[in-house]
């Protein structure tokens, strides 16, 4: 039954396309085909309209605005690449981009390192209930809004009343000004970002670890490989797909870091912990310098696009090819 349908239908469809006027079964199929096409357009129409109005159109508009001077009160004035040239002289942009790159680097290293560590630990043969509890605990912060977890953490980070300093003092350390010192304000942002995102990356690693063929690992052990060699030579290459996915999403996520900083440090002291997205929002919606803000946003878009494309490129030469 199935085989006849399978063999018949492509041939019949071709006929339908070739001769729309052909009688009987063929014309019925061509009517079906036409109906399919119409339905296809109808079904995708809402999504396509939404995409054009809310993504594609604004994206093109952002490129256009980046070439203008526009304060929303008077019409945009075309200024060529002035906004892009201006970026090179903007020290605040250099600072905020520098901070953002630091957040990205920290996210890539810390989130993935902890995620892989916990994934390897959780992937052992532990009692089922225990695995479930651990997985749940690590994943839960990821489901909670970054704003909410940041609200909790800013209380924990308070210099005189916060728990972090209480325990640090208990261990004999100095009280740290987590939220108001130039160095530690950045570290606070990094801690919250790592803490919240580690669970998601861990789940990706766990899924990948479970795909590693057990017999391959066993065979390597039979051949005298120690655990480290097994991990380095078999497990790491086998999970490189997941590693790439995780690295890409941590880079993209960290480039967009925003609300945790607003809650924790408000970007301060000065611009010490301000991210580039905060700077874009400030230039656009406090100073109403829409053209310049768009130009900065376009650079962010290009960076994120390049990172994504680069990851795909590298992946080809890297993955499963050790």
Partner 1 sequence: MSRLDTTVRPSRSGTGKAARRRPGVGKCVSVALLVIGAVGMIAPFLWMFTTSLRDAGHAYDLPPQWLPTEWDWSNYAGAVSGPVPILRNMLNSAVIAIAVSIGMIITAPMAGYAFAKLDFPGKNSIFVGLLSSLMVPAQVTIIPLFLLMRTFGLLDNPLSLILPGITGALGVFLLRQFFLGLPQEIIDAARMDGANAWQTYRLIALPLAKNAVSTLGVITFLGSWNAYFAPSIFLNSTDTATLPLGLVLMLGPYGAGNVAQVMAATTIAIAPALIVFLVAQRWIIASLTQSAVKG
Contact between 97 and partner 1 per CB under 8 A: no
For 33, the token pair is: 């085909």
Residues whose CB falls within 8 Å of the CB of residue 7, separated by 6 or more in sequence, listed in order: none
Nearer to partner 1, 81 or 148 (CB): 148
Give the binding-site size for partner 1 (rule: CB under 8 A): 105
- Mutual angle of helices 128-143 and 182-210, in 10-degree steps: 140
Which residue among 85, 152, 310, 314 contacts partner 1 (CB under 8 A)?
152
CB of 94 to partner 1, least distance (A): 18
Say if strands 68-69 and 77-78 run parallel, antiparallel, or are unpaired: antiparallel
Nearer to partner 1, 39 or 98 (CB): 39
Choose the binding region for partner 1 from 48-56, 78-86, 88-96, 212-220 (rule: CB under 8 A).
48-56
Residues whose CB falls within 8 Å of the CB of residue 72, separated by 6 or more in sequence, listed in order: 288, 290
| Pattern 114-133, partner 1, x by CB under 8 A | x-xxx-xxx-x-x---x-xx
Contact between 78 and partner 1 per CB under 8 A: no
Which residue among 113, 216, 219, 314 contacts partner 1 (CB under 8 A)?
113
Contact between 44 and partner 1 per CB under 8 A: yes
Contact between 286 and partner 1 per CB under 8 A: no
* Other CB atoms within 10 A of residue 11 CB: 9
Nearer to partner 1, 72 or 216 (CB): 72
Which residue among 43, 71, 173, 287 contacts partner 1 (CB under 8 A)?
43
For 32, the token pair is: 């079906």
Measured between alpha carbons, how far is 241 from 229 in angstroms, rounded to an integer?
19
Measured between alpha carbons, how far is 52 from 41 in angstroms, rounded to an integer?
15
Contact between 211 and partner 1 per CB under 8 A: no
Whole-angstrom CA distances from 142 to 99, 107, 147, 188, 201 are 23, 14, 12, 17, 10
- Report phi then psi at 70, rounded to 5: -150, 120
Residue 188's nearest CA partner among 249, 102, 260 is 260
| Pattern 236-275, partner 1, x by CB under 8 A | x------x--------x--xx-xx--xx--x---------
Contact between 18 and partner 1 per CB under 8 A: no
Contact between 314 and partner 1 per CB under 8 A: no
Residues whose CB falls within 8 Å of the CB of residue 136, separated by 6 or more in sequence, listed in order: none
Contact between 200 and partner 1 per CB under 8 A: no
């Amino acid at each position: 039954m199935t085989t006849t349908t399978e063999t018949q239908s492509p041939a019949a469809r071709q006929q339908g396309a070739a001769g729309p006027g052909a009688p009987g079964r063929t014309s019925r199929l061509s009517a079906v085909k036409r109906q399919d096409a119409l339905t296809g357009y109808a079904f995708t129409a809402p999504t396509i309209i939404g995409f054009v109005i809310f993504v594609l159109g604004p994206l093109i508009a952002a490129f256009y605005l980046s070439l203008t001077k526009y304060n929303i009160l008077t019409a945009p004035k075309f200024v060529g690449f002035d906004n892009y040239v201006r970026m090179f002289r903007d020290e605040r942009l250099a600072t905020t981009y520098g901070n953002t790159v630091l957040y990205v680097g920290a996210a890539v290293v810390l989130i993935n390192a902890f995620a892989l560590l916990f994934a390897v630990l959780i992937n052992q043969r532990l009692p089922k209930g225990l695995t479930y509890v651990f997985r749940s605990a690590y994943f839960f912060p990821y489901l909670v809004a970054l704003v909410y977890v940041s609200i909790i953490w800013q209380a924990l980070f308070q210099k005189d009343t916060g728990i972090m300093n209480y325990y640090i003092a208990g261990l004999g350390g100095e009280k740290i000004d987590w939220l108001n010192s130039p160095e530690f304000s950045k570290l606070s942002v990094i801690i919250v970002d790592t803490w919240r995102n580690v669970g998601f990356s861990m789940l990706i690693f766990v899924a990948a670890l479970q795909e590693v063929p057990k017999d391959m690992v066993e065979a390597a052990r039979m051949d005298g490989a120690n655990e480290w060699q097994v991990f380095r030579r078999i497990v790491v290459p086998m999970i490189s797909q997941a590693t790439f996915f995780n690295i890409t999403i941590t880079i993209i996520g960290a480039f967009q870091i925003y609300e945790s900083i607003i809650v924790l440090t408000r970007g301060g002291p000065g611009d010490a912990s301000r991210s580039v997205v905060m700077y874009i929002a400030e230039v656009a919606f406090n100073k109403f310098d829409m053209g310049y803000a768009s130009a900065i946003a376009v650079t962010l878009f290009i960076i994120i696009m390049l990172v994504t494309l680069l990851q795909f490129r590298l992946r080809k030469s890297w993955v499963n090819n050790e």
